[in-house]
Amino acid sequence: LAEELQNKPLNSETRELLKLLSKPNVKSQIFIRSQVSSAYYVPGPVDTTCRRFVKMFIKALFDYDPNEDKAIPCKEAGLSFKKGDILQIMSQDDATWWQAKHAGDANPRAGLIPSKHFQERRLALRRPEILVQPLKVSNRKSYEETIECEEIKEDAEYAGNHSGTYIAGFRRSFRLSRKDKKTNKSMYECKKSDQYDTADVPTYEEVTPYRRQTNEKYRLVVLVGPVGVGLNELKRKLLISDTQHYGVTVPHTTRARRSQESDGVEYIFISKHLFETDVQNNKFIEYGEYKNNYYGTSIDSVRSVLAKNKVCLLDVQPHTVKHLRTLEFKPYVIFIKPPSIERLRETRKNAKIISSRDDQGAAKPFTEEDFQEMIKSAQIMENQYGHLFDKIIVNDDLTVAFNELKTTFDKLETEAHWVPVSWLHS
Ligand SMILES: Nc1ncnc2c1ncn2[C@@H]1O[C@H](COP(=O)(O)OP(=O)(O)OP(=O)(O)O)[C@@H](O)[C@H]1O
């Protein structure tokens, strides 16, 4: 190889790689040889024909540090990345170690990353430990025993209570909340069967840039976050900032309509029989039962907001997100994360947690336990579903978080974003 390169104008990187060739490890030598060739050939624009050069981009769904990887043949040759990074694949010739670089990185040198197959295999082996156990211990068991799914508020009071502004169809979602131990409310069932589905092993997802065309529907905006973090507050602020541009879904219910309510405004009122049929036919994104009545968010209610050429704001439990990841909705998933406990104490001094009510039914101030629960729940969500989040916004100062949300929306509507290839080529 040295002879071959003798008369070539080597760049500093290639020279570095050549130095590494003196390493005794045979596997790393094989890799470095391929790197020297790629470092030498890739920079020339026409030279891409000289080697198999596939322009393929993937989104990393896990954090990777080659220094922590005992299996990698040569740690120096590894490429570290974070969950959510976009990588360009330079070679998939080896079944175990792909060569990749960070998308947009001017440096042509590729690094080694574990192949999808290899990563899936070893993650699957570790899965019981990393995925299932934490939830059993800290989330699932305690949730199932002590929580109920938050009640879909039976009146339209939420927006009114907080802002004096009534917004038709604005309802609280199906996110889980801790049960008020003083009340004896029945358990609110929330499609628990697949709530903690660990079937998917997140490794990489092939992605491609997508920019919404003016004649296309808006992407569905999915908001995820622990109870009390401020999803409703942020949603409410967005809605009142531009009622023509943003919309929320109208939920279905089987409870009787009250005199002041109109069908299709506060709720879509349907019979139990019809609701159950719709459940069978998978018409609901989420549904549940409360005080012998069903409540649910239908797929059609999302379609109807989008058909009005509005941005549909939907907050769901994180396990629901994967069902919404379709070409039709092209969801953009935003995780609203709590700040540190110190900042929660400071910023939420006068705030009330809506899902926790006193004997008179009024919302209660946050307790230390609420803050701890919020942070713990956010960590679990991020660990388990973080690979599905397109954006994380920390709701520390409300105005700052709201502005960040607005900027995110502006970019979403005007700039290209990476989306799964399967959405565009299916
Ligand atoms: N950044 C913030 N600073 C101060 N108070 C906030 C902030 N964000 C939200 N709040 C307040 O915290 C309380 C809970 O917010 P909100 O109801 O929006 O939370 P949520 O995530 O929708 O939870 P829940 O499902 O319990 O309603 C409200 O009183 C809200 O005004």
294 CA distance to ligand 1 centroid (A)? 25
Report the C-alpha gap between 390 and 297 in whole angstroms.
Answer: 22
Structure tokens at 44: 């020339």
**Over residues 197-219, mean pLDDT:** 86
pLDDT in the model for residue 9: 61
**Over residues 205-210, mean pLDDT:** 95
CB 231 less than 6 A from any atom of ligand 1: yes
Segments in 217-298 forming alpha helices (H):
231-241, 272-280
Bridge-based pairing state of the strands 147-149 and 111-114: unpaired
52 CA distance to ligand 1 centroid (A)? 53
Q: Which range (86-95, 173-182, 328-337) has the least confidence?
A: 173-182
**Tens of pLDDT, residues 231-273:** 999 999 999 999 999 999 999 999 999 999 999 999 999 999 9
**Tens of pLDDT, residues 371-419:** 999 999 999 999 999 999 999 999 999 999 999 999 999 999 999 999 9
Residue 312 confidence class, pLDDT cut points 50, 70, 90: very high
pTM given for the model: 0.77
* Same-domain status, 189 and 311: yes
Q: What percent of the chain has pLDDT over 70?
A: 68
Q: Which domain holds residue 68?
A: 2-114
CB 159 less than 6 A from any atom of ligand 1: no
231 CA distance to ligand 1 centroid (A)? 7
Higher pLDDT, 89 or 34: 89
Higher pLDDT, 357 or 260: 260
234 CA: nearest ligand 1 atom: 18
Higher pLDDT, 107 or 344: 344
* Same-domain status, 158 and 276: yes
ipTM above 0.85, yes or no: yes
Is 238:271 a contact under the CB 8 Å cutoff?
no
Q: Beta strands of 310-405 (E only): which ranges?
A: 311-315, 332-337, 352-357, 363-365, 391-394
Among 66, 93, 114, give the residue marking a domain's end. Answer: 114
Among 114, 147, 168, give the residue marking a domain's end. Answer: 114
Mean confidence (pLDDT) of the chain: 79
333 CA distance to ligand 1 centroid (A)? 19
CB 229 less than 6 A from any atom of ligand 1: yes
CB 394 less than 6 A from any atom of ligand 1: no
232 CA distance to ligand 1 centroid (A)? 7
**Over residues 101-120, mean pLDDT:** 91
* Same-domain status, 209 and 309: yes
* Same-domain status, 133 and 46: no
Which residue minimizes the CA distance to atom 25 of ligand 1? 227
